[in-house]
Amino acid sequence: MTVEWHKVEVFSVEFDLSPLLFRLRRDGIDCRVTEEASGQWLWVGRSDIAVSLKHWLENQDGELEKMQSHAKAQGLAPEQMASAGENFLLRKCSEFLALVRHFPVTLGTIFLAVLGAALVEFDSQFHWIGLFTFQPVRVVGNQLGLAGFQSGWDQLQYWRVFTPVFLHFGIFHILFNGLWIWEFGRRIELRFGSGFLALTILAVGVASNSAQYLWQGPSLFGGLSGVLYALLGFLWIHNRLRPHRLTTLPPGIIGFMLFWMVLCMSGAVNVFLEGSVANAAHFGGLISGMALALLTAKLRSSKQ
């Protein structure tokens, strides 16, 4: 993830910022210091934290000096404090916890998809996979037996309309989908909130899975591809109607993803795969995401 840095305050080059950096990193705040002609500039990774921290620094009345004095009284030299602040394991744990706090739905979705990929990899007899497919699936002899969707529905297995999004077939499948879910999901989660993203993933997951089943009939399919195309469509259309820096995608990303979808539809990608691409899920996801963007933008406009 690329961090967008924001300036907080400038300090003299003689001033030791190690205690402050240690405290910020301990609290899971991305920070760094650069030296410029004007002195040492403190930067943080979020604009709201930069504003709050600047206000806090303006009202400390020597608190930073007290922090330094306290650290020295504990017998820690500045270079030792810096070393503690740079402790790799602690810093990475703090960064990860901060990401979990900010993007619980995005990261949770990717985590469940990784579990789904592991399930597909190790459950060759479909003892568990069959519980999460769109319709009941089981191994019969050397063949894969596929029931109709109605069979699962009659057994009150309603979760099947959604759970195929977590099943992934191969390392490339999960890496590709995980990368774009992270790119698109975190933008929506920051802009609209975790609850909105969770409901969006649920709705477009059902829509893309249903589109694939209606197009191809009983088959073994899965993956977050339909969801990521829905998130792409949502960001694309919503930003055209109500532009915002968080929902703005570089044109190159939109062009690449649309090109990739068309390439998959052409059948060229199937040459490199054991199965085939769920093209209907991609297209159904894209359309459902675009429709959701139109509805969301209209509702927000009517409220205002």
**Catalytic residue list:** 225, 282
Strands of the chain (E only): list them: 6-11, 31-36, 39-44, 137-140, 143-146
Element (H, E) at 236: helix 225-241
CA separation for the pair 128, 144 (Å, rounded): 14
Give 210's strand partners. none
The answer to whether 232 and 192 are in contact (CB under 8 A) is no
Cα distances (Å, whole numbers) of residue 175 to 181, 237, 283: 10, 26, 20
Encode 136-195 in three state secondary structure.
CEEEECCEEEECCHHHHHHCCCHHHHCHHHHCCCCHHHHHHHHHHHHHHHHHHHHHHCHH
Place of tokens 């469509």: 233
What is the C-alpha R_g of the chain? 25
DSSP character at residue 17:
-
